[in-house]
Structure 1
Amino acid sequence: MQTIRSEVKGCTMESPSLLSSFNLAQASMESNSDPPFYEALKVLLDKNRNLKDNSVSCADDELGVVMVKERELPVIDLRRLESEDEREREECKTEIARASKEWGFFQVVNHGISIEILKKMRAEQGKVFKQPFEQKVKEDEFFNFSAGTYRWGAPSATSIRQLSWSEAFHIPLTDILGSTGSNSLSTAIEQFARTVSSLAQRLAEILEEKMGHKSTFFQENCLPSTCYLRLNRYPPCPLFSEIHGLMPHTDSDFLTILHQDQVGGLQLVKDGKWIAVKPNPDALIINIGDLFQAWSNGAYKSVEHRVITNTRVERFSTAYFLCPSNDTVIESCTEPAVYRKFSFMEYRQQVREDVQNLGSKIGLPRFLMQTTPTA
């Protein structure tokens, strides 16, 4: 096998070597359950064939360039919220708000979701992704999911660094809660979704309270009909240092609750550097989304994060997204406002347009009160 040249400055990859490496790997790793990642890679390489040096380059802060240290996120014991001591309850709430401001990410233990539910969810998730690719594409027929829930790769990618080596089912909660399905998959998903939905509402209310507000905003606007569950799988990737499992992004919701396995791969930006999140088998990961950053007037941080691939083993995770209805208006809770008012529909449309036209999301900078980014 030819050696792939990866330079610290410029992250240059020779296209012929890259393609031959993947052709060899494809023969031994590809199965009928995997999406056609290698075909997508070849298309992107062909698009870049006319570059002067016949190579594909990525920015200096991309994979394989910056040393990444593994760190453990702040861990918050939610059992203290049930304490008879009011001071202890308030200290727990303060820690949640502090982590949301300083990290944008934190972990919770004693979160009320049993280990049995998490294990069952993981087992059923493994089964659904082992189905043939042709069946997964027909998700409405084989899994009773709405059409369009199954996704893989990055359809709008224009370069290799925009290709996501992953597949997912992005499922509306209305497909889960109250469904007529009686198979083990639907039962496991429904149990997980019900418990994690309650946790999300509670955390959102705490974050609202710590900003000096108390209302029924989240109960009224973030309903089962507006929230989502995403089942993720990241297959082994021969060039783990060059291709993302999920490219860098921020979440477009209020907050996300993530259950991941012990493979690792989640990374986030802290103090201008990428850090790897150390897996914690007892914890769920919570991260702030764009809407909470806008609503809190920048107090809570929606932090850029990504998933890197693994050469040998697959990784699984399940994410719950607390989203409002499309017509919900997001307005800064304090003055002077950093961001202008916008509806969730307007935000989603802008993100979709940027991804289609530019290959990546811009997000909140588009909605700053005074500054309009150029593209």
Structure 2
Amino acid sequence: MKEDTDSKKWFNVEYVPKDYIFPKEERPENLDTPVCDSIPVIDLSKSKSVETILMASRELGFFQVINHGIPEKIVTDAMSVLKEFFDMPSKDRTGIVPHKKGYIYTNSTDYAKDGVHLWRENIKHPCHPLEECIHLWPEKPTRYQEVIGAYLKEIQKLSSRILEMICEGLGLEPGYLEDTSEVSLLSSNLYPPCPDPSLTLGILPHQDPSLITLLYQGNSTGLQVMKDSQWINVGDFPNAFVVNIGNQLEIISNGKLRSIKHRVVTSTHETRISIATFVNPSPDCIIEPAKVLVNELEPSRYTASQYKEYVKSSKAYGDYTVAIQNALHS
């Protein structure tokens, strides 16, 4: 498949190319499954939001939040500047290997498994500490750094608020999670229309290696979660953020909260842009069940480990983490 140009993108095809077709056992089925109405949409302005967040985190590991306090303009500006980025010619989206630049952009070279490509374009970059990372982000569009920087400041406030509510729900002391967490990675995906979504995937089934992940998906669908051994579509709710529990918070909660599998499927007619921000523990932080949640009746279910060692052993972000660390310290 040829590199895209200003006039023709790699995904402007009538048929799905062979190297984008997944084996039959990995292809999405039942793409017309109903939107999951059991994923709560939680109004953060309501007094009982702590209880509903904890219940959703226990039962499904996913929920959406509204009345979250992030100005709508901040979000629409972020989505707009990312669309501008993905619309640029490939020569202006360099950064496939982050040497001097602290970001990775992948187009049709994004292998998922056994040489099969994902049907997406993606940009990843670090976010913490913001003042040290921001100059490593794309310089085009010219307003990218300013707009995404403003977006991430709001995400930091919202994620801290949600983590504090989870602490309260679990019975942990105030600040237990906030003091060791950081919004450390942004990953934005463009999922173009696909001639046959039953053959492709936007993202493989996975669990997040984070504490929590905050996702803005705009007015689009495609995110699916595994519920009762079935893939269920997560609906798009106006001006809402999808929040999911990551592996690290499942460990800290001693299994009380759930990190579950999710994936992204494609569409024949819809272009989807999403912004995922990963709230991770500090690299040197020891991740283990909170002591107040461990007792004789509920012994520890997980072995303590340093977060950076977890990332290395699980290859949670592939070679990206190592490359970014090198870029930040070069």
Q: Which amino acid aligns with 2:165?
A: I
**Are residue 185 (structure 1) and residue 144 (structure 2) matched?**
yes
Cα distance change on mapping 1:236 and 1:126 into 2, 3 Å: same
CA distance in 1, matches of 2:23, 2:220: 28
CA distance in 1, matches of 2:283, 2:207: 19
Does the aligned pair in 2 maintain the 1:34–1:132 contact within 8 Å?
Answer: no
> Shift in Å at residue 289 of structure 1?
0.6
- 2:153 aligned residue: 194
Higher deviation after alignment, 234-243 or 104-113: 234-243
**Are residue 347 (structure 1) and residue 313 (structure 2) matched?**
no
Does the aligned pair in 2 maintain the 1:69–1:274 contact within 8 Å?
Answer: no
Q: Count how many residue pairs are aligned between Structure 1 and Structure 2.
A: 305
- Please provide the CA RMSD for this pair: 3.4
> Shift in Å at residue 116 of structure 1?
1.1
CA distance in 1, matches of 2:234, 2:164: 26
Greater per-residue helix proportion: 1
**Are residue 223 (structure 1) and residue 182 (structure 2) matched?**
yes
- 2:124 aligned residue: 170
> Shift in Å at residue 58 of structure 1?
2.9
SS at match of 2:215: strand
Q: Over residues 257-279 of structure 1, what are the superposed CA-to-partner deviations in whole Å (9 max), with x where a residue is unaligned?
A: 11112231111011221111111
CA distance in 2, matches of 1:175, 1:32: 38
Q: Over residues 297-347 of structure 1, what are the superposed CA-to-partner deviations in whole Å (9 max), with x where a residue is unaligned?
A: 111111111110112332101111101222211101233111111111222
> Shift in Å at residue 134 of structure 1?
2.9
- Which structure's relative contact order is higher, taking Cα pairs within 8 Å and 6+ residues apart? 2
Cα distance change on mapping 1:353 and 1:252 into 2, 3 Å: closer
Query: Structure 1: where are the runs of 5+ without partners?
Result: 1-22, 46-55, 81-87, 357-375
- 2:33 aligned residue: 68
- 1:53 aligned residue: none
Does the aligned pair in 2 maintain the 1:205–1:214 contact within 8 Å?
Answer: no
Cα distance change on mapping 1:150 and 1:35 into 2, 3 Å: farther
CA distance in 2, matches of 1:191, 1:76: 24
**Are residue 119 (structure 1) and residue 79 (structure 2) matched?**
no
Does the aligned pair in 1 maintain the 2:27–2:201 contact within 8 Å?
Answer: no
CA distance in 2, matches of 1:35, 1:176: 33
> Shift in Å at residue 67 of structure 1?
6.2
Q: Which amino acid aligns with 2:84?
A: K
Q: Over residues 44-93 of structure 1, what are the superposed CA-to-partner deviations in whole Å (9 max), with x where a residue is unaligned?
A: 78xxxxxxxxxx7332x74125862212320111112xxxxxxx3xx221
TM-score (normalised: structure 1): 0.72
SS at match of 1:223: strand
Q: Which amino acid aligns with 2:54?
A: A
Query: Structure 2: where are the runs of 5+ without partners?
Result: 320-330
SS at match of 1:210: helix
Does the aligned pair in 2 maintain the 1:259–1:285 contact within 8 Å?
Answer: yes
TM-score (normalised: structure 2): 0.81
Q: Which amino acid aligns with 1:350?
A: S
SS at match of 2:162: helix
SS at match of 1:285: strand
